[in-house]
Amino acid sequence: MLKDKNILITGGTGSFGRKVVDYILNNMSPKKLIIFSRDELKQFDMQQVYSAELFPSIRFFIGDIREKERLMRAMHGVNYVIHTAALKQVPTAEYNPFEAVRTNVIGTQNIINAAIECGVEKVVALSTDKAVNPVNLYGATKLCMEKLIIAGNSYAGGRTRFSVVRYGNVVGSRGSVIPLFLKQSKCGELTVTDERMTRFWITLENAVSFVLKCLKNMHGGEIFIPKISSMMVIDLAKTICPQCNIKITEIRPGEKLSEVLISSDESRHTLDAGDYFVILPEFKTWEGVSWQEGTQLPEGYSYNSSENDVWLSMEDMKYLIREK
């Protein structure tokens, strides 16, 4: 699908960005792969690994999604956009709310406008379980991001297609709680905010393959959700440091006991497609297209990390962490 195509990845120096860049460069033959981000040091570090001599298709583009003009320049001639750039730390977004809005909401609107004006074929944007029934500002901005991306199909008139991929915590990413637990383990005490807390987990490798699969199969307007495993956060702490003392603190502002990937309201227009779910757009933005695969979810169904059918054991998580 990506052979001889031009691909732009916003936030391309982040955990997901680096992994998808590595996969595309080593398994596909893009004409051009553009890394768009605002951190010059991270781009410099990536250039040491993915040099132009070894990977002539790669390009590094300093820019901020808050600036539409820079996005317009970067998207010239681009076929596909994978949008990963965001402010993602919950406490940071709570303390700096408008900064999160400027990046996650206004920045997304800039991407939509630039993609339509530059004739991009497909845009897939990454979202989070925190966008469902949000209780913190980060989740609220990602909900807005989803709504903007889906609505982008109405403005594009079929020339540019927009879809969303929504998943949970990523094993091996800098933003997960795992690096914090590993750091705390050196001091002999891990902090868990509530012993009842559960989370969805997905590996970076599975996230990358799922996003690329959705980019290939999307019609525009869908929200794709992989079927992934749950784990108790306290079990994760015990996995990382069995001998450590675990201190129960208190739930932080904007934090949930469990996460939801599909709400009961969304289930009314969601299909079970085997190893993933597809939330169909409520407003039909494309004609002559229908999802033939999948069965309608039952009324009131909710995909919740505390009520999941699939759970990671401590041995499973130990293996995943060791692989990182």
Q: Identify the structural domains of the chain with CATH numbers, from first to last.
A: 6-168+201-227+260-303 (3.40.50.720)
- From residue 95, alpha-carbon distances to 45, 79, 127, 137, 322 in Å are 30, 37, 21, 9, 34
Catalytic site includes residue 5? no
How many CB atoms lie under 10 A from the CB of residue 276? 19
Structure tokens belonging to residue 33: 């792969």
Local structure of residue 165 (DSSP, 8 states)? E
Structure tokens belonging to residue 67: 């600036």
CA distance 209 to 28: 13
CA distance 209 to 252: 33
Which residue out of 88, 130, 142, 238 is catalytically annotated?
130
Closest CA to 110 of 151, 72, 161: 72
Q: What pLDDT shows up at residue 322?
A: 75
Show pLDDT as tens, one digit a residue, over the chain (324 residues): 899 999 999 999 999 999 999 999 999 999 999 999 999 999 999 999 999 899 999 999 999 999 999 999 999 999 999 999 999 988 899 999 999 999 999 999 999 999 999 999 999 999 999 999 999 999 999 999 999 999 999 998 889 999 999 999 998 777 678 888 989 999 999 999 999 999 999 999 999 999 999 999 999 999 999 999 999 999 999 999 999 999 999 888 778 899 999 999 999 999 999 999 999 998 776 665 566 678 999 989 999 999 999 999 999 998 888 766
Inter-residue contact 130 to 142 (CB < 8 Å): yes
Closest CA to 20 of 180, 215, 152: 215
The model's pTM: 0.94
Q: What residues have CB less than 8 Å from 308, skipping those under 6 apart?
A: 198, 200, 229, 230
Structure tokens belonging to residue 57: 């298709």
- Say if strands 58-62 and 161-167 run parallel, antiparallel, or are unpaired: unpaired
- From residue 321, alpha-carbon distances to 81, 170, 237 in Å are 30, 11, 12
Helices (H), the chain: 15-27, 40-49, 68-74, 90-95, 97-100, 107-118, 137-156, 178-185, 204-217, 233-240, 314-323
Q: What pLDDT shows up at residue 42?
A: 95
- 229 has which bridge partners? 201
